[in-house]
Structure formats: structure tokens, C-alpha cells
Chains A and B, each alone.
Chain A
Amino acid sequence: MTIDKFDILTSTCVPLPAENVDTDQIIPARFLKATSREGFGENLFRDWRYDKEGNPKKDFVLNNPKYSGKILVAGKNFGSGSSREHAAWAIFDYGFRVVVSSFFADIFKNNAMNNGLLPVQVSDTFLKTIFSEIEKDPAAQLEVDLEKQEIKILSTGEAETFAINPYKKLCFLNGYDDIDFLLSKKEKIQAFEQNRDS
């Protein structure tokens, strides 16, 4: 499965200031029973988004018509807990292409990158600034420039650079896939196996 190419994304944001958002909140275990990758967006943040009867909870941000866009801005330590890739699939399937936080759990970060969902880690201060800009103006836009590794608040011009592994950056810019890369290493892998056995 190749990933979508990514260069620059300009979009409004959905703010979720909660910290330690674990993957059980992103997609509860009872919705992991599918055998395909599609359709998980329906149950993204299920128990925060809907009540027991399945009615939307008014106070949850995804149900607030003020906020929309392709960028999810979340509190510190986003994606902790279970390794379920379904969490990344659900966020992507819902329509997000970038998640901004001041800290990501390791497995979630890998899973996101393997599916064309770009995790952008910013400083605590910059995250605070983004949240307050969105609060002032829900139509505030962020620009994520992968080539420059820069995230900018368009209304104020405030920007910060972010880190990304150069290999992963190349994959995002070109839509490369890790499995194609690994398959191209077959000979090396077989040689490694033989060396170990001897």
C-alpha cells in the first residue's frame, strides 16, 4: 500500500487540548473487529463523541460545527497505549492528514507515518499559542510545509520548525512505501541469515 504524497498542507484545525489521549479513546477495542482498513473514521473518539444511545455529545469538539479541517491539534503524549494501527486509520479515515502535539507515543507515531498521517511535534509553548489562536478564531489556519519542516500560524506568521527522520521525509514527499524498500533488500536479508547460521 503506497501512501499519499505530502508537501504543503494549509488548513483550519480541530483543537483537542486533552493530554495523554490514549488509543483506546481514539478507537475503543470493541470497534477493532473489522478485517479491512476502511471505515474506522465513523467510530473515531466514539465514547467522547456519542452517548450510550448513539446521539452526538454536543460538548465534544468533533460535534462542534465551529471547528473543522485536516489538522488535529492535541495535548501532550498523544496516542499512548495500545499498538492498534486502527487509531491511525480512524484519524486518517475521518479526514485528518496532520496531527500536531507536543509529544507523541512511539508506536502511534510509527503507525501514523506508515499511513500518510504526518505527526508534527511542536514545543509546549508553540502548542499553547496554537490553542489560543484557535480559541480566538476558529477559522485560524495552519500551514505545514514538509520540505521546509516548518509549521506556521498564518494569521500571525508565528512559525516553528519540526523534526522528521530524513528517510521518512522522503517517503512522505514521494509517497514511498516501506515494504517496497524492504523487498528491495531481499538479497542482503538472505545473506544476513546465512552468515548467522554458519
Chain B
Amino acid sequence: MEPKTLFDKIWDSHVVDSIPDGPDVLYIDRHYIHEVTSPQAFSGLRKRGIPLFRPERTLATADHNIPTQHQELPIREKLSRIQVETLSENCKEFGVELYGLGHPHNGIVHVIGAELGFTQPGMTIVCGDSHTSTHGAFGSIAFGIGTSEVEMVFASQCVLQPKPKKMRINIDGKLGEAVTSKDIILYIISQISASGATGYFVEYAGSAIRSLSMEARMTICNMSIEMGARGGLIAPDETTFTYVKGREFAPKGQEWDKVLAKWKELKTDPDAVFDKELHFKAENIQPMITYGTNPGMGTAITGCIPKLEEIRESEQLSFKKALQYMGFEPGMPLEGHLVDYVFLGSCTNGRIEDIRAFASLVKGKKKAENITAWIVPGSRQVEKQAREEGLVEILEEAGFELRQPGCSACLAMNEDKVPAGKYSVSTSNRNFEGRQGPGARTLLASPLTAAAAAVTGKITNPADLM
């Protein structure tokens, strides 16, 4: 038999039909939905007069548009409230399980899917959200889709997709102090650019990846889309199986033994060929931070913004425009630059390990006077666990408050908006113009780097505080 990549194995086993010279009809095991990208798809079903084909494979949550304080009260903003209410009505009408506001399972779609064990190795997973790639950390094919495709999955449990090309990114070696999985992915994107993997599906491999926890792996796969990739996955191993076992939707008893045997086969064959293969050394990665308006514009925190002549001529215009927006000059160092806001949260870094990391660094220190900090758990379960572990007390002693779960300042659809011109060190995934509010200036970084900025009030290498 011809050697195959893990991606090929999963994809091929989900092809229902192939259109000659066209896309494949790909069967979808898990479909996550939320309030922002689903209403028009439900309306489509209604217009056609058809039911939702496989409601048991769909799970809904309200996350993008919700406040992160006083969730027990009605949502104040009218349009947001209507959108969240519409989701509830649609789920009821079409028989979809909804973990809405106030439900103990509520949270960011990509956080709850994993923590409930609804996401499992070898599956195909979609959601009307580009960070669906997060679920690839379990050795599944997971990617974001548009609302028309959400309607396709509702109607047929399938999407039409051309098969992407395959890339493998190997990271070998040992990570240095204060270097996290967020730094790994920001480093990769800074090396290959925000469009460097467009058209590809990525497999992450190598000893540095193997050494990571599930949550750290999710952070890496989450940002695959930020280099243009359709998605990113990591072959499942003991770390994966241990994480999934016993979770709410995970198979139990004999069923567990049966699936485990299958999951252990989920790996790329030794001689399988990728369309592209890249190698990086973990030792070259330092705590990272972005300085521009796409996630590829990043540097080691101890480094400087590139000089104009270091940028390719065709990109100089965009580079200058980005620095002007950010209020930075070419060639300037970033360390020591004053910061106004710190955001810990999002589907990239809103999990319990992220809150632990932040708390470990701020423990015994005080929030800097000039900083407004938003610490937003990724789910109700994360919030609960942070309380049980005593992290909330550590945060409060240092002058921080834990808010309620949601997407929050990652995309600022709710009230959590960074004002124009203000600098925000953020653990989220995008530093686009206006992403955290009109005119907001976002610097992407790890939870440790965010914590370092929160207690010093400026861009600080977390290694200096550890």
C-alpha cells in the first residue's frame, strides 16, 4: 500500500463521493455553531422547508456576542440580544443541543468542544468560525466554513471541499524558559508570513510538539489559519488519549477500548510525501510579540521592528501603513514600550493552563497602575476550575478580576473594546486594524508575556520576571 499522511487517511475515509474535476463530498462528524454565523443558515433551511439532517452531530453555544459581566441579566445591546435569542429559537425549532448563556457548559465554541470530549481523534469537524482549526490538536481534520456551508452541513451533514495540499512543519528540540506554544506558532507565522500556508493543510510534528500538553497543542492548531492554512493537525498520542478519556461525550467502557485501538493507528506513514516540508529548531524560539497589523508581523520580544530596507519592496507600502497605524517606527526596540490594556482569553489562550500561567507570574506582584486588564475564561468550566484551584484569589490579590466567559476583546463584538490609539497586549489571535475596537493597537503574545506587561505596565520579557 502506498504510504499516506494522517491527513489523507482521515480525509479519504470521509469522502462520500467525488465530483470529477471538482470538489469531494466530505462527511462531517461534528458541527459546532454559534450565534453570529448560523442565523442565515437556519433561515435557508426554513425557506427550503427541510429539516436539519443530523441534529445529534451538532452542538451550539453563544459566545461571540455576549457580555463578560452580569450574564445573569438580559443582554443590554439590542442587536446582540436578538442574535442570541434567535440562536435559542433556532436550536429549539431544529432540535439542536444548545449550551446557552448561563448553562454550566457554556463557553467559547472551541474551548467547550474539546473540554466536553465532543471533539475526538480521527474526526472531521467544521464550524462557521476560522479558528475551528483548534480541534486539529486531537488528530482530526477541523476547519472553518462560511454560512452557506453551515447550511450545507445542516441539510446534508456534508460539505463540498476541494482537497487541500499538505505541508508538514517540524519543530525539534527543547523550548527555553518562558517560551510557550503561543511563541512557537507566532514564530512560525513570522517566518513564513500570514499567507505562507494558504492552500495547505498542515501537520505539526517533531519532539517539541510531542512534549506539549493538549491545551498547548490547541493554541498552535488554533492559529494555523493565521498563516492562511485551511487547518492544522497533530497526530494523537498518549497525551491526547489521557485528555479525552472520561470526558462527557467520550466513548466509555468497551466502546472506549474499540475506538482507542483505531485512534492508535492515526499517524502519518514513515515514507508519506508532503507537498511542502519545513523544519525549525525549538532553541531558536524566544518569547514573541507582534508589532504590526497581521499575525506574521512578529519578532522576539527582545528584538527590534525590522528596518524598511529589510522588507521586500512589494511589501514596504503595507509595512509603512501598518507601523503608522501602530504608532511605531521602523527599527525601534519593543521592550519597555508602554501598554494600556492587557487581554487574557479567547479560543487561543483562554484555557485553564493559560490562567494558571498568568497567575503564576503575577503572584505576589501588583497590577501596574496604567493597565486595564480583562481576564476572560474560555468557558464556565474553566471559570469554575480557576476558582477551585485558588487562581482567582491570586489574581485578586494582585489587583485582577476574573470575568465571565466569552470571546470578548478578541473581536470586540461585545462591550470589551480597546479605545482608539491604545496599546493592548493580547493573548488572542489577530492584530488586524480595529480588531479589538476601532483604532485599537493590538500586540499578540503569550499569557506569560501578557502577565509581564500587566504587572510592569510595559512590554517586558517574561523571562526577566521568572
List residues of chain A with CB under 8 Å of any chain B CB: 1, 17-20, 22, 24-25, 28-30, 32-37, 47, 52, 75-77, 80-86, 88, 103, 105-107, 110-111, 114-115, 124, 165-168, 178-179, 181-183, 185-186, 188-189, 192-193
Give min CB distance, B20 to chain A, whole Å: 8
Give min CB distance, B124 to chain A, whole Å: 12
20 A–B contact pairs at CB < 8 A?
A20-B318, A24-B435, A30-B412, A30-B413, A37-B40, A47-B438, A52-B420, A76-B195, A77-B194, A81-B225, A83-B144, A84-B36, A110-B145, A111-B146, A165-B22, A179-B44, A179-B156, A183-B50, A185-B25, A193-B157
Query: Could you tell me the distance between the alpha carbons of A85 and B225 in the complex, rounded to whole angstroms?
Result: 16
Given the complex, which residues of B lie within 8 Å of A29, measured CB to CB?
Answer: 64, 411-413, 435
Task: Tell whether A28 pairs with B434 under 8 Å between CB atoms, given A106-B228, A168-B22, A182-B158.
Answer: yes
Q: Is the CB of A179 within 8 A of B435?
A: no
Residue-wise interface mask of B (2-40) relative to A, using a CB-CB cutoff of 8 A (1 in contact, 0 not): 000000000000001101011101010000000011011
The 7 closest A-B pairs by CB, nearest first: A167-B22, A85-B146, A33-B79, A111-B146, A114-B148, A83-B144, A35-B39
Nearest B residue to A82 via CB reads B130
Nearest B residue to A181 via CB reads B160
Nearest B residue to A19 via CB reads B318
Q: Is the CB of B145 within 8 A of A83?
A: yes
Query: Could you tell me the distance between the alpha carbons of A111 and B157 in the complex, rounded to whole angstroms?
Result: 18
Q: Is the CB of B130 within 8 A of A107?
A: yes
Q: Is the CB of B37 within 8 A of A85?
A: yes
Binds A, one of B80-88, B93-101, B234-242, B247-255: B80-88
Q: Is the CB of B228 within 8 A of A105?
A: yes
Given the complex, which residues of B lie within 8 Å of A80, measured CB to CB?
Answer: 194-195, 198, 228, 294
Given the complex, which residues of B lie within 8 Å of A105, measured CB to CB?
Answer: 195, 198, 228
Query: Could you tell me the distance between the alpha carbons of A114 and B64 in the complex, rounded to whole angstroms?
Result: 24
Query: Could you tell me the distance between the alpha carbons of A172 and B145 in the complex, rounded to whole angstroms?
Result: 20
Q: Is the CB of A33 within 8 A of B23?
A: no
Q: Is the CB of B19 within 8 A of A167?
A: yes
Residue-wise interface mask of B (403-441) relative to A, using a CB-CB cutoff of 8 A (1 in contact, 0 not): 000000001110000001000000000101111001000
Besides the contacts A80-B194, A182-B160, A189-B158, what 18 more A-B pairs have beta carbons closer than 8 Å?
A: A1-B44, A1-B47, A18-B321, A22-B432, A28-B434, A33-B80, A77-B198, A80-B228, A81-B225, A82-B130, A82-B430, A85-B37, A107-B146, A107-B230, A114-B149, A165-B21, A168-B22, A181-B160
Given the complex, which residues of B lie within 8 Å of A85, measured CB to CB?
Answer: 37, 40, 128, 146-148
Q: Is the CB of B40 within 8 A of A36?
A: yes
Query: Could you tell me the distance between the alpha carbons of A182 and B26 in the complex, rounded to whole angstroms?
Result: 10
Q: Is the CB of B128 within 8 A of A83?
A: yes
